Amino acid sequence: MAAKKSSTPNRAFKVADQIQRDLSELIARELKDPRVGMVTIQSVEVTPDYAHAKVFYSVLTGDPAATQEALDQAAGFLRAGLFKRLHIHTVPTLHFVFDRTPEHAADMNALIAQAVASRSKEDTE
């Protein structure tokens, strides 16, 4: 038997997007843990049944390991905050994952700049 299609096919994406916006605001304004520095919520992936959400984050300042520990400890508080803001039956359990994409992007930019600089150096010689 085929899985039942949702009446609104993009609903999971909309819910994930709303969770991302609300979590960003909750972390910035209501989370008072000093271990949490400047955290950016990169993306959120929600399971089809909305039971779990993977929250990908990056850290501008602070220790990623300490931030991970603080976010894991604050997951219940953040979920309760989401429950007050979201109007869905099931608010997902939050699972925080450190996202190294910004670091990799900076490394790639540095490599590209280095390659361009060495190429222009060769062209002038």
What string of DSSP letters covers 65-116? HHHHHHHHHTHHHHHHHHHHH--SS-PPEEEEEE--HHHHHHHHHHHHHHHH
Which residues 6+ apart lie within 8 Å of 74 measured at CB? 31, 33, 36
How confident is the model at residue 71, as a pLDDT? 94
Furthest C-alpha separation in the chain: 69
How confident is the model at residue 8, as a pLDDT? 59
How confident is the model at residue 110, as a pLDDT? 82
How confident is the model at residue 125, as a pLDDT? 63
Question: What average pLDDT is seen over the chain?
Answer: 86
pLDDT digits (tens, 9 = 90+) for 49-101: 889 999 999 998 888 899 999 999 999 999 999 999 988 888 999 999 998 87
